[in-house]
Structure 1
Amino acid sequence: MRQLWDISAPVHPGSPVYPGDVAYTQRWCARLPDDGPVNLSAITLSPHVGTHADAPLHYAVDGAAVGLLALEPFIGPCRVIHVMACGPFIEWQHLAHALVDLPPRVLVRTYHQAPTQWDACLTAFAPDTLERLADAGVLLVGTDSASVDLADSALLPCHQVLWRRGLRVLENLLLDAVPEGDYELIALPLRLTQADASPVRAVLRSLA
């Protein structure tokens, strides 16, 4: 059997959230054995909690909702690239050691260990890096950071590159245990037909 890496951040009431966003909460609607034959719960959360796929609707007025996106970018060959301690931006030169025969999906690890609370100093992509990845045929970019843009960015230039170039994106990946290299990515968003993002259960599978 091919090896699997679960690269999904655990979701629970303490999961980091963007300041002011809706944190994860859960309440029980029915409990065994007193309330019937099954346990039933209700959850509330922003679709950006934990590992998630942003939809164009998140950053463009006329962008598509996440449930309307084609699934092909979210499944297939990918490369994990390590750029820890690269500074505030992931520049093209930080990826240069791993760009030969690039597959159409690129996941970037920026943390030695994923944060357990909101990181206001997260590492973002440089917009030009995303432009050049799109030029290289990349369909999807992913990061273990909470955003492709700086945490305090108002203009969101990287999200605008995603929109203009038709790139798909995964954020809040958990890449702590994943070596650099090539894998198969499986990270399908839910079919939420009106949502600006979706949680994903992101998995890497070895190629052999």
Structure 2
Amino acid sequence: MKTINNSKSWTDLSAPVTNKMVHWPGEPEVSVCKLFDMNKGGPANVTILSMSAHTGTHMDAPLHFIKNGKDISMFPIDMMIGPARIIEIKHDRFIPLEEVQQHEINPNERVIFKTKNSSSDWPKQEFKRDYIYLSLEAAGYLKEKKVSVVGVDYISVGGKDNGKAVHEMLLGNEIWVIEGLYLNGIKPGLYEMICMPVKIKDSDGAPARVIVRKI
């Protein structure tokens, strides 16, 4: 991933979906295979995908943790297009309230956290049990600030011990969540962002393509 140098250029923050890429423990292994292959005499090339909706770069809908919450097909398009701020976190275990409070976060802001998760090519590696996650205190602060979107650079915004509570705190207040962002080489700052999840009726999440350019 190259650092953005030109304000007119777009950079893709989406992790490529590949066969057997990292996935949440207990969910099916990612499978990308050919139903038909022209190199093997097929009439066309046709790919079959099999994976959880929460694989790679994806969005969580409120329905993920909120009973009768909005599904991913109901996401507000305007919310996923516009300015987003990438904030770099130094803490090496989680995203703490104290670091988040150092930044003047405004209502309706789209906030993306870059952590040491981005120092490795995590989509191609085994699942990291010590990934950096959002603390419940920081999630509560973002709720109080009435942000609209929270993004993180691993496949879950919450950790082993607080995952359910963090998801409920954000999604229960209709703060939409982007997980699995690929931020290697991306500098902190203000960006224009476009995030488009696949429109899957009644789904609690969906793969997403996320692109940004420096403002």
TM-score normalised by length of structure 1: 0.89
Distance in structure 2 (CA, Å) of the matches to 1:71 and 1:9 = 21
Q: Runs of 4+ in structure 1 displaced over 6 angstroms?
A: none
2:124 matches 1:119: no
Are 1:47 and 1:197, in contact at CA under 8 Å, matched by a contact in 2?
A: yes
- The answer to whether the 8 A contact 1:131-1:165 is kept is no
Looking at structure 2, the residues matched to 103 and 154 of structure 1 have their Cα atoms a distance apart, in angstroms, of 24
Distance 1:5 1:193 in 2: 28
Structure 2 CA distance for aligned equivalents of residues 67 and 153 of structure 1 = 29
Deviations 1:1-53 (A, max 9, x none): 712221111211231111111222123222226222x2112111111110000
Cα-to-partner distance string for 1:64-88 (whole Å, 9 max, x where unaligned): 211122122222101001113x143
Distance 2:108 2:155 in 1: 23
Query: Among 134, 137, 140, which residue is 1:131 paired with?
Result: 140
Aligned equivalent of 1:42, options 40, 48, 70: 48
Identify the residue that residue 180 of structure 1 maps to in structure 2. 188
Residue 31 (structure 2) aligns with: 25
CA distance in 1, matches of 2:60, 2:212: 19
Partner of 1:160: 168
- Report the Cα offset of residue 172 of structure 1: 0.9
* Pair 1:153–1:14, CA change in 2 (3 A): same
Instruction: Give the total of aligned pairs.
Output: 204
8 A Cα contact 2:82 2:194, kept in partner? yes
Aligned in 2, Cα 1:43/1:100: closer, same or farther, shift over 3 Å? closer
Residue type of the alignment partner of 2:149: L
Unaligned runs of 5+ in 2: 1-6
**Percent identity of equivalent pairs:** 25
Pairwise CA distance, 1:100: 5.9
> In the alignment, is residue 11 of structure 1 matched against residue 17 of structure 2?
yes
* Structure-2 separation of matches of 1:27 and 1:70: 32
- When normalised by structure 2's length, the TM-score is 0.86
Residue of structure 1 in register with 2:97 after alignment: 92
Distance across 2 between alignment mates of 1:61 and 1:100: 29
State the match for 1:171 in structure 2. Answer: 179
Task: Note closer, same or farther for the CA distance 1:108–1:114 as it changes in structure 2 (3 Å cut).
Answer: farther
- Partner of 1:105 in structure 2? 110
SS of residue matched to 1:93: helix
Contact 1:79–1:102, Cα closer than 8 Å, also in 2: no
Deviation (angstroms), 1:117: 2.0
- Contact residue 107 and residue 148 of structure 2 kept, 8 A: no
What secondary structure, in the 3-state scheme, does the structure 1 residue paired with 2:59 have? strand
Distance 1:98 1:176 in 2: 21
Q: Which residue of 2 aligns with 1:189?
A: 197
- The answer for unaligned runs of 5 or more in structure 1 is none
Task: Give the alignment's Cα RMSD to 1 decimal.
Answer: 2.0
1:159 positional shift: 0.5
